[in-house]
Amino acid sequence: MQNYNGWLVLHDRDTVNITIHISSILEVSKHYVEERGRSYFCYGDECVFCREGIPRRSRYIAEIIFHGEDLKWEFSQEVYRAIRRLTSKKSGSVKATVMRFGRGKKTRYRIYVAGRSQFSNSFNKYQSGRYGHMVQS
Ligand SMILES: [Zn+2]
C-alpha cells in the first residue's frame, strides 16, 4: 500500500509512476531522533533538538499524482537533487518513475524522468555524510 493517509510511502523494491508538481516542492528542516525512530520538524530558535545537537537536515515535500490521486511525497535532498538534475523545469509538472531498493540505512533510490534517456545513478542518502552516522559502502 503506497497511499498512506494521503502520503506516498515507498517500500523495498517498489517502482511507482508519479507526476510531480515542480512548483509545489517545499524545503523543510527536520531532525531525525534515533531513539524514537522518527523525524521532527525543526522549530528554529526555540528548537530543543537543535539545542541537543541532533543534526538538522533538509527534507522536501511535493504534491504529486499517483494512480489518479493527489498525494504528498516527502523525500531527501539526494532525491531532490536527482530531480533537479533530470529536469530544468521550474514550474508545471514532470512524469517520473521512482524505484526504491532496500530498507533503513541501506535504502537506495533511482529516478527516471520522462523525456530523459537515462535513469539517475542509484544513490543512498546516508552516503552524503550529513547524518552523523555515515554508512560505508
Ligand atoms: Zn532544530
**Residue-range definition of the domain harbouring residue 22:** 3-128
CA of residue 97 to ligand 1 center, whole Å: 32
pLDDT at 61: 96
Total domains in the fold of the chain: 1
Residue 137 counted as domain residue: no
Residue 15 counted as domain residue: yes
| CA distance linking residue 86 with residue 83, whole number of Å | 5
Model confidence over 55-70: pLDDT tens digits?
998 999 999 999 999 9
> What CATH number does residue 28 fall under?
3.90.198.10
| CA distance linking residue 21 with residue 93, whole number of Å | 4
Residue 35 counted as domain residue: yes
pLDDT at 8: 96
Residue 54 counted as domain residue: yes
Instruction: Determine what percent of the chain is predicted with pLDDT higher than 90.
Output: 50
Model confidence over 40-54: pLDDT tens digits?
999 888 999 999 999
Residue 135 counted as domain residue: no
Question: How wide is the angle at C-alpha 67 spanned by C-alphas 100 and 97, nearest 5°?
Answer: 35
Taking the CA atoms of 29, 33, 38 and 44 in sequence, report the sign of the dihedral they define.
negative
CA of residue 47 to ligand 1 center, whole Å: 4
More confident residue, 127 or 136: 127
pLDDT at 122: 64
